């Protein structure tokens, strides 16, 4: 589509949020001129996003509500039905039943884009390099030197969303607050099978105020840790040092990793309800609106970093708001207002998970809960 025929909507990022929004709009609004951009090629040998790939019961429920059943080929043979919570400082541990699905993350993404209806134009291997408002819409530069135009722009770029940063910088101040919610997730993949199908969540205040994980996969074991980005920027321990310390502490608890790992890292948000950012309205209420979904908006659990259910739910809410406006001229302000209404419960959910996190990540309260054995096997 050339410069003179702008898209109605461009979605940046084909992760769980972006591909869900594109699928729902392509199905329900067949005349919408819709483009989904993804910087990765999403071929079978593509780099996976750094992720545990665990499908929580909430995420499975939303897929079911959308009448989607992930094919068996997406799942690993070892489903971690229990989580072992391990306090590395006291050595105390408890196992909690949690029926997670153990997914191949890349296979999940490939499956989600395979469901896109034909009217969605999907461009894998095409990054959005920059954007700016133009007239009643947006002008976007993409990686093959092309300039595209659209009325509405959606960021489904994940935690490092450039569109969100740009919009927040225009409205002043919020970006700095979000920096406090940014974490660096480092994940090592060891080419060895873990002896147990249990998934471990470990805690130690000297490593992070969040948590680390050991997840068994087919033919590999993942060891990951989410650490506050501000601490490593302030000249604290390097991420490599924190990971080495975690490995040494885990070894004392019988977790030995022999082989050399492959390391990946990415940003992770850990929001408060205040860190959510849904977007900006349009110019004179018309075009030029921009919206954020999934982790770009801050939709992710601040207690567990579970993000699939929030990515699906926020994409569904925005699809509902756009569907309402589809025949009425796609007024950006109305879409934003509808999206806000459609995510009220999700916002409450984030606030509730924030409270839960305060208890879970207080070493004193966590020790009390683990000692009480509440909910444990």
Ligand X SMILES: Cc1cc2nc3c(=O)[nH]c(=O)nc-3n(C[C@H](O)[C@H](O)[C@H](O)COP(=O)(O)OP(=O)(O)OC[C@H]3O[C@@H](n4cnc5c(N)ncnc54)[C@H](O)[C@@H]3O)c2cc1C
Q: Applying CB under 6 A, which residues contact ligand X?
A: 12-18, 37-40, 49-54, 56, 59, 127-128, 156-158, 185, 187, 224, 266, 268, 294-296, 300, 305-308, 311
- Report, in Å, the least distance between residue 224 CB and ligand X: 5
Q: What are phi and psi of 142, to 5 degrees?
A: -120, 170
The CA distances from residue 323 to 32, 135, 326, 337, 361, in Å, are 10, 24, 5, 13, 40
When the beta carbons of 146 and 333 are compared against ligand X, the nearer one is 146
Burial of 230 (0-12, 13-18, 19+ CB in 10 A): middle
- Report, in Å, the least distance between residue 304 CB and ligand X: 8
When the beta carbons of 18 and 338 are compared against ligand X, the nearer one is 18
When the beta carbons of 154 and 334 are compared against ligand X, the nearer one is 154
Are the C-beta atoms of residues 206 and 245 closer than 8 Å to each other? yes
Report the alpha-carbon distance of residue 336 to residue 319 in Å, rounded. Answer: 11
Q: Which of 188, 158, 157, 44 minimizes the C-alpha distance to 104?
A: 44
Residue 255 has a CB neighbour count (10 Å cut-off) of 19
When the beta carbons of 62 and 331 are compared against ligand X, the nearer one is 62
DSSP letter for each residue of 178-246: HHHTEEEEEEEEESS--S-S-EEEEE-TTT-SS-EEEEEETTEEEEEEEEEHHHHHTT-S-HHHHHHHH
When the beta carbons of 165 and 331 are compared against ligand X, the nearer one is 165
- Report, in Å, the least distance between residue 309 CB and ligand X: 7
The residue with tokens 């993942």 is 222
When the beta carbons of 17 and 317 are compared against ligand X, the nearer one is 17
Ranked by CB distance to ligand X, the top (closest) residue is 307
- Report, in Å, the least distance between residue 88 CB and ligand X: 19
When the beta carbons of 94 and 313 are compared against ligand X, the nearer one is 313
When the beta carbons of 52 and 342 are compared against ligand X, the nearer one is 52
- Report, in Å, the least distance between residue 15 CB and ligand X: 2
- Report, in Å, the least distance between residue 289 CB and ligand X: 19
When the beta carbons of 115 and 286 are compared against ligand X, the nearer one is 115
- Report, in Å, the least distance between residue 92 CB and ligand X: 24
Q: Which two tokens stand for residue 10?
A: 């461009």
Q: Which of 334, 346, 342, 315 minimizes the C-alpha distance to 26?
A: 315
Any idea what the Cα angle at residue 324 is, between residues 323 and 325, rounded to 5°?
A: 90
Q: Which of 19, 21, 318, 11 minimizes the C-alpha distance to 151?
A: 11
- Report, in Å, the least distance between residue 271 CB and ligand X: 11
Q: Which two tokens stand for residue 131?
A: 């954007």
Burial of 302 (0-12, 13-18, 19+ CB in 10 A): buried
- Report, in Å, the least distance between residue 133 CB and ligand X: 17
Are the C-beta atoms of residues 96 and 199 closer than 8 Å to each other? no
Any idea what the Cα angle at residue 124 is, between residues 330 and 156, rounded to 5°?
A: 45
């Amino acid at each position: 589509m050339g410069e003179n025929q702008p898209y109605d909507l461009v979605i940046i990022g084909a992760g769980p949020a972006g591909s869900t929004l594109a699928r729902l709009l392509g199905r329900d609004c067949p005349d919408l001129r819709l483009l989904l951009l993804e910087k990765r090629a999403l071929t079978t040998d593509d780099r996976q996003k750094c992720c545990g790939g665990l499908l929580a019961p909430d995420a499975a429920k939303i897929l079911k509500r959308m009448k989607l059943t992930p094919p068996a080929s997406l799942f690993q043979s070892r489903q971690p039905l229990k989580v072992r919570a391990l306090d590395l400082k006291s050595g105390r541990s408890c196992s909690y039943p949690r029926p997670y699905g153990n997914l191949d993350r890349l296979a999940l993404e490939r499956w989600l884009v395979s469901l896109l209806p034909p009217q969605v134009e999907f461009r894998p291997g095409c990054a959005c390099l920059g954007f700016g408002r133009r007239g009643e819409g947006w002008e976007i530069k993409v990686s093959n030197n092309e300039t595209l135009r659209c009325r509405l722009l959606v960021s489904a770029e994940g935690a490092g969303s450039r569109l969100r940063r740009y919009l927040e910088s225009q409205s002043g101040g919020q970006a700095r607050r979000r920096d406090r919610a940014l974490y660096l997730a480092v994940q090592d993949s060891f080419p060895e099978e873990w002896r147990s199908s249990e998934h471990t969540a470990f805690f130690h205040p000297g490593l992070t105020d969040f948590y680390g994980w050991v997840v068994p996969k087919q033919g590999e074991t993942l060891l990951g840790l989410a650490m506050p980005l501000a601490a490593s920027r302030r000249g604290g321990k390097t991420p490599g040092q924190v990971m080495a310390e975690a490995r040494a502490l885990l070894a004392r608890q019988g977790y030995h990793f022999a082989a050399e790992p492959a390391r990946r890292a990415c940003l992770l948000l850990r929001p408060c309800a205040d860190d959510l950012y849904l977007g900006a309205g349009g110019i004179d209420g018309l075009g030029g609106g921009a919206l954020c979904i999934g982790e770009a908006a801050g939709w992710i659990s601040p207690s567990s970093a579970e993000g699939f259910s929030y990515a699906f739910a926020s994409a569904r809410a925005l699809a509902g708001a756009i569907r309402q406006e589809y025949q009425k001229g796609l007024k950006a302000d109305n879409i934003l207002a509808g999206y806000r209404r459609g995510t009220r419960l999700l916002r409450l959910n984030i606030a509730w998970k924030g409270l839960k996190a305060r208890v879970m990540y207080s070493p004193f309260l966590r020790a009390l809960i683990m000692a009480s054995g509440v909910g444990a096997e």
